[in-house]
Structure 1
C-alpha cells in the first residue's frame, strides 16, 4: 500500500536536516509509503523510482528523504452500542498502535458514540495513552464525522506531520458535521487520515444484525492520503492497527516546487517507475501561497 500526504510548507518544515534551497523556496511535500505486490513495505527506494504529477503535468522532484519523521496523531475509536461485543478487542488492538509510537511521536486518544471525548493533552507516554484507551466510555449513536472534525480541531497549530486514525463499524448517525466538510478541512489543513472499518455483529434490541462501516471512510482516506482498511473479522484488528504504525514510520518524503499558486485545488498523482509497486497517493492539495509564511534562508 502507499499512503501519500501533500502540503505546501517551508523547506525547513519537511525534514530535520533539510538540503540547501534558495531563500523563499516553497515545496509541495508528499509522504509516501510503498508496498510490493505482496503488500510488503518497500525500503531503500531512490528519488528516481518516483514520478509526481500536478494537474496531470509531470513535476521535477526537488526534495527526497527516507528518514523517519515524527507524527502527532489523534486516535479516535467508535464505542457506540454496535461495538458492545468487540469493544475489548478494539481497545487491545488500538494498544498495538500506541505501543509502537516512537519517542518523538505524540498522541491523543478519543472515542465517539452519541458524544465525543478526547484525552486532555498530547503525550509520548505510551503507558498513559494505553490507560486512556482502556478508560474510553460507551454510548449509543455514532457521531463519526463530528469526531473527525474535533480531531482536526485538536491538531490545529501543531507543526510537523499530523494524522487522524479513526475506527468505526457503522454509518454516521448523529453528526452535525458532514463528510464533505471534514474532507475539505483535512485537505486545507494538511492532515492525513487513516481509517479502519469493521463489519460487526450486534443486537439492535430485537435481533442480531451485521453492520457495515460508513462508505465515507474510504473517500476521506483516499482524499487525504491515508490508508483505508475494511475488515470482516475481529482477529484482523490488532494486525491492522500494527500495520498503520508501520506505514507511518516507513514513509518517504518527496517534494516539488509548484509552478502555479493560484489558490485552487490541484490534482496530485504519484506513480512508480518500477513494476510491481502500487502507489496510493493523496489526490489533491490547495495551491495557496498564503497558507504559509516562508522564512528567508
Structure 2
C-alpha cells in the first residue's frame, strides 16, 4: 500500500476543505488541441501544448445487437453543442491509457458478494495497459481512499484484500468524491470509475440532484455494477427500493457516458468486467471547439450521432460539459 490512508469524510467541514475550490471547478476539457497518438516510447515528462477551448468526448458506438462498432471514420459522426452542429477538430480511434478508480461498496449488505467483487477488481487491475493508473475507494457510511493513484496493479490487489466489510451505505457521496478525485488527480485524459454496489443509498450527504450536477463538472465516466435487492413492494405511494436503486444507477451511468450492469447472479460478474475492460479500450475520441465560444457559465448539452448508411447505430457519450468560468 502506498501513501497514508486518509478519510474522505462527508460533512460541512469536509466540503469546505475538499471542495472550497473544487465546487467551483470548471468541467472544461484540459486536453491537447491535437492530442498525440499513443507512443509507447514517450516518457511521462513530455509536455504538450494545451488548448482549453477544445472539448473532447469519449464515444462508444454499438449496433442494434449491442456489438461495438469500431470501423467508423470522422465523416460518420455529427456533433451538436446545444443543438448547433460543430466542426470536428480532432478524431482518434487509438487506444488511450486510463486513469481508473475502483469504488467498492463494503457495507454489510454487500458482504455475501465480497469474494466475487474482489476478484473483479483484481481482474481489471491486472488488465492494465502501459500508462494506466488506478486507485481504490471503499465505502460504508463514509468513503475511504484505500489506495491512492498507482501504476502498479499489485498495490490495488493488496489494498482490496485488506479492506474491512460491514456498515452503512453512502453511495452518492462515494461516487461524487471518487469522480472528483479522478478528475483532479488523474494524469490521463481518459478517466473512469467502476462502482460495485447494491445501490441501497442510505447515508450520503448529497442527494441525487446535487450529485448529478457535480458529475457534470467532471470528465469521468462512471460504470456501475449494481446488485439491487429484489423488492417489488413500493407501498401505496412510492416505488420499490429496487426500482429506485436501478433508476439511480442508470441515471448516473447515462449522464457520464458510462454503463450500468445488473447481474442476476454472481456468475455473470466475470463477463461483465471483461465487457467494461473492452469498453474502456475501444472508444473513439472526438474533439471540437465550440463555435459559439465559451462565454458564460452553465452546463451545455452535447449530442453525438453516428451513421454509416448500412445499420442502425447507437452512440454513448457523456451528456455535456461545463465551460470554464472566465473564458
State the TM bucket, normalised to the shorter chain. 0.7 to 0.9
Larger RCO (CA within 8 A; separation ≥ 6): 1
Secondary structure at 1:91 match in 2: helix
RMSD: 2.7
Residue 252 (structure 1) shift: 0.8
> Is the deviation greater in 116-125 or in 99-108?
116-125
Q: In structure 1, what is the Cα distance between the partners aligned to 2:53 and 2:278? A: 29
**Which residue number in structure 1 is paired with residue 299 of structure 2?**
265
Give the count of matched residue pairs. Answer: 276
Q: In structure 2, what is the Cα distance between the partners aligned to 1:23 and 1:192? A: 22
Q: In structure 2, what is the Cα distance between the partners aligned to 1:11 and 1:41? A: 26
Residue 236 (structure 1) shift: 1.4
**Which residue number in structure 1 is paired with residue 254 of structure 2?**
222
Q: In structure 2, what is the Cα distance between the partners aligned to 1:223 and 1:236? A: 25
Residue 154 (structure 1) shift: 2.4
Residue 24 (structure 1) shift: 5.6
Answer 1 or 2: which has greater strand percent: 1
Q: In structure 2, what is the Cα distance between the partners aligned to 1:258 and 1:127? A: 42
Residue 105 (structure 1) shift: 0.5
Given that 1:49 and 1:273 are in contact with CA atoms closer than 8 Å, whether structure 2 keeps it comes out as: yes
User: For residues 5-16 of structure 1, what are the structure 2 equivalents within 5 Å?
Assistant: 7-12=28-33, 14-16=35-37
**Which residue number in structure 2 is paired with residue 84 of structure 1?**
111
Give TM-score scaled by structure 1 length: 0.83
Secondary structure at 1:220 match in 2: helix
> Is the deviation greater in 97-106 or in 274-283?
274-283
Q: In structure 2, what is the Cα distance between the partners aligned to 1:149 and 1:25? A: 24
Q: In structure 2, what is the Cα distance between the partners aligned to 1:116 and 1:55? A: 35
Superimposed CA distance per residue, residues 182-220 of structure 1 (whole angstroms, 9 cap, x where no aligned partner):
322222132222222123579xxxxxxx97345322112
Q: Name stretches of at least 5 consecutive residues in structure 2 with no aligned partner.
A: 1-26, 40-48, 232-239
> Is the deviation greater in 60-69 or in 183-192?
183-192
Q: In structure 1, what is the Cα distance between the partners aligned to 2:36 and 2:326? A: 21
Give TM-score scaled by structure 2 length: 0.76
Q: In structure 2, what is the Cα distance between the partners aligned to 1:279 and 1:113? A: 34
Given that 2:105 and 2:139 are in contact with CA atoms closer than 8 Å, whether structure 1 keeps it comes out as: yes
User: For residues 146-225 of structure 1, what are the structure 2 equivalents within 5 Å?
Assistant: 146-155=173-182, 156-159=184-187, 160-200=189-229, 212=242, 213-225=245-257
Question: Is 1:46 aligned with 2:80?
Answer: no
